[in-house]
Amino acid sequence: MTRRNRTIPGAGRSAAATTRVPCTITYLEMMQAPVLPPLHPPNEPIALLRAENPSVSFYRYLYDAVGRPWLWTNRKRMSDRELRETIEHELVEIYVLYRTGCPAGYAELDRRQQGVVHLAYFGLLPEYIGLGLGSYFLNWVVRYSWEQNPTRVWVNTNNFDHPRALPLYQKMGFVPYSRRTVHIDPNPDPAPRPD
């Protein structure tokens, strides 16, 4: 499916009338550091910075800007307190990719399970897709993850994500190990729960 001509069943209906739709999730993992293509930064001004203890509003901006086209809603449903506890945890790292001074994408690495790195979120803002930034950024994320000597690095994607997401994860060395189908509410704008 492409973003331009995709119709999501149930989208645009009231909450009471929303139909849950099937979503197939693919889980991928690496059990050892892969052999990656050389890491060549794009020929343009970019910066990759860790967002240390980002504000909830900045995180929500990134999450929505990257995830809205792909129906990311889990973090939108979290209260500010719950979200703050997650993103400010010492074992959760958020990296923001900037292009010409503007946020172009982000990655969230969760190390709360000993010996495991979970690439919890990864993506680009729609305006920056197709410029080669995703391959560069994911290559960097995978290299960085293995510098911490984990026993496993894993990620998941689903059929609502960008159609190139799964092939890109596999190109970088992730191997599918499980699939499951769940039913999701396609409403792209759930309100955060109050604290």
Q: For the chain, what are the domain ranges?
A: 19-184
User: What gap in Å lies between CA 86 and CA 18, rounded to an integer?
Assistant: 29
> How many residues appear in the chain?
195
**144-191 per-position pLDDT tens digit:** 999 989 999 999 999 999 999 999 999 999 999 999 999 887 775 555
The overall average pLDDT reported for the chain is 88
The whole-model pTM stands at 0.85
- Asked whether residue 17 carries a pLDDT value surpassing 60, the answer given is no
Question: Do residues 126 and 2 touch, judged by C-beta distance below 8 A?
Answer: no
- Asked whether residue 135 carries a pLDDT value surpassing 60, the answer given is yes
Q: Are strands 152-158 and 116-124 parallel, antiparallel or unpaired?
A: parallel
Q: How far is CA 143 from the centre of its chain?
A: 17
User: What gap in Å lies between CA 84 and CA 42, rounded to an integer?
Assistant: 33
Q: How confident is the model at residue 138 (pLDDT cuts 50, 70, 90)?
A: very high
- What fold does the segment set 19-184 form as a domain? Aminopeptidase (3.40.630)
pLDDT at 190: 56
Looking at the chain, which runs of residues are DSSP E strands?
21-30, 46-50, 92-99, 102-110, 116-124, 152-158, 175-184
Q: How confident is the model at residue 94 (pLDDT cuts 50, 70, 90)?
A: very high
Q: How confident is the model at residue 11 (pLDDT cuts 50, 70, 90)?
A: very low
